[in-house]
């Protein structure tokens, strides 16, 4: 096919970024200036290229597009190397965050349109934090303290003991778990490698040199990694992908509070499968067994917790309480007659 583009579509008029040239006995060549802007009102005066085949024209456009794309990618890479926060045009949720949302969406039965609203709110929080960061990613202490200030002053979040990621996204009501999910997402986007530190009843983040208490005031939010063991004698260092475990435990707790023992147990078991040392999930399994009056099985679970954390006085007291009531041949220990405390 010999369809051509006439002079008013010649590349030197519409595509000033492409300079056409020809050599004797050869096809026209192309050089590209990615910063040039098209002039759609210009009329070509070039005599070098009078006619271009349509397929060549498309090739020129594609080559210019690829050049601009490489130019943009190189610019973003330079910004990342300088420690600046780069905001993607559309925030995509990491697989771990999406999985946590999916677990909660299924439990609460949210329709798809509401799910999009929730994830959109979450993505907005991510963008707000990233846009507000001015500290270099290399200075972890200052970076962690700045993010803590952004959470309070820019996002105006509140902190409560119990909260879901859905509630955190829509109402800005966070706990240590949901804030760790959000902040770890932000830090990974700007190129900071972090891990999660799980301690009985608490969770925080750790970078290469400093730990980050996401729920603490900015001046107390960052401390050196060497103090982790002193502050949390019993703890586990895990990858960020393990954040899915506590999400299953939280679902189990909510079901157990509704008295749905058999539906709650799989949530605790899934949490244990992800982190076999999850004493929170073990504690809740023990509580569920007590609610079923399976006290010997509950004692076995509680004793496993004490092997991991001998300083858990609450569990030690539970074991002693069950044993003392069994000695008195009581069928139902007093603690099982009311809704027991659970651990999220």
Mean pLDDT by 10 residues, the chain (344 residues): 38 43 45 49 46 54 61 52 44 92 95 94 96 92 97 95 92 96 97 94 95 96 96 92 95 93 95 93 94 93 93 90 70 48 60
**Domain limits, CATH 1.25.40.10, in the chain:** 259-337
CATH number of this structure's domain 259-337: 1.25.40.10
Query: What pLDDT is attached to residue 312?
Result: 87
Helices (H), the chain: 11-14, 54-81, 95-108, 112-132, 140-149, 165-171, 176-189, 228-231, 244-257, 261-274, 279-291, 295-308, 313-327
Q: Integer distance in angstroms from the first to the last C-alpha of the chain?
A: 70
Query: What pLDDT is attached to residue 184?
Result: 97
Element (H, E) at 21: strand 18-21
Which pairs with CB-CB distance under 8 Å and at least 24 residues apart come from 327-331? 331/293
Query: What pLDDT is attached to residue 48?
Result: 44
Query: What pLDDT is attached to residue 92?
Result: 86
Q: Is 233 helix (H, G, I), strand (E, B) or coil?
A: coil
Asked if 288 and 295 count as a contact pair (C-beta separation under 8 A), the reply is no
Query: What pLDDT is attached to residue 200?
Result: 86
How many residues are there in the chain? 344
Q: Residue 235: name the closest of 179, 278, 176 by CA.
A: 278
Determine the angle formed by the axes of helices 279-291 and 244-257, rounding to 10 degrees: 20
Taking only Cα atoms into account, the Rg of the chain, rounded to an integer number of angstroms, comes to 30
């Amino acid at each position: 096919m010999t369809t051509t583009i006439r002079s008013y579509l010649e590349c030197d008029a519409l595509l000033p970024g492409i300079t056409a040239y020809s050599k004797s006995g050869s096809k026209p060549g192309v050089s590209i200036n990615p910063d040039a802007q098209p002039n759609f009102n210009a009329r070509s005066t070039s005599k070098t290229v009078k006619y271009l085949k349509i397929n060549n024209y498309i090739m020129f456009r594609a080559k210019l597009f690829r050049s601009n794309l490489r130019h943009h990618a190189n610019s973003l890479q330079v910004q990342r190397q300088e420690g600046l926060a780069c905001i993607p045009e559309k925030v995509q949720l990491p697989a771990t965050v999406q999985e946590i949302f999916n677990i909660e969406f299924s439990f609460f039965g949210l329709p798809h349109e509401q799910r999009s609203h929730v994830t959109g709110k979450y993505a907005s929080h991510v963008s707000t934090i990233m846009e507000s960061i001015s500290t270099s990613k290399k200075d972890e202490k200052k970076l962690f303290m700045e993010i803590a200030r952004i959470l309070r002053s820019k996002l105006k979040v509140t902190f409560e003991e119990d909260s879901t990621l859905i509630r955190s996204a829509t109402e800005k009501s966070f706990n240590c778990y949901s804030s760790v999910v959000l902040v770890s997402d932000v830090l990974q986007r700007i190129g900071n490698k972090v891990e999660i530190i799980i301690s009985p009843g608490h969770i925080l983040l750790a970078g290469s040199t400093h730990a980050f208490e996401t729920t603490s005031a900015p001046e107390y939010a960052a401390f050196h990694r060497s103090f982790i063991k002193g502050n949390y004698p019993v703890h586990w260092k895990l990858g960020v992908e393990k954040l899915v475990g506590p999400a299953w435990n939280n679902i189990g707790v909510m079901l157990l509070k509704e008295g749905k023992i058999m539906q709650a147990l799989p949530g605790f078991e899934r949490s244990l499968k992800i982190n076999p040392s999850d004493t929170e999930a073990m504690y809740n399994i023990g509580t569920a067994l007590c609610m079923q009056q399976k006290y010997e099985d509950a004692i076995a679970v509680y004793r496993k917790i004490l092997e991991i954390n001998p300083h858990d006085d609450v569990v030690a007291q539970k074991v002693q309480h069950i044993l003392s009531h069994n000695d008195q041949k009581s069928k139902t220990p007093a603690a099982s007659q009311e809704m027991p405390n659970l651990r999220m």
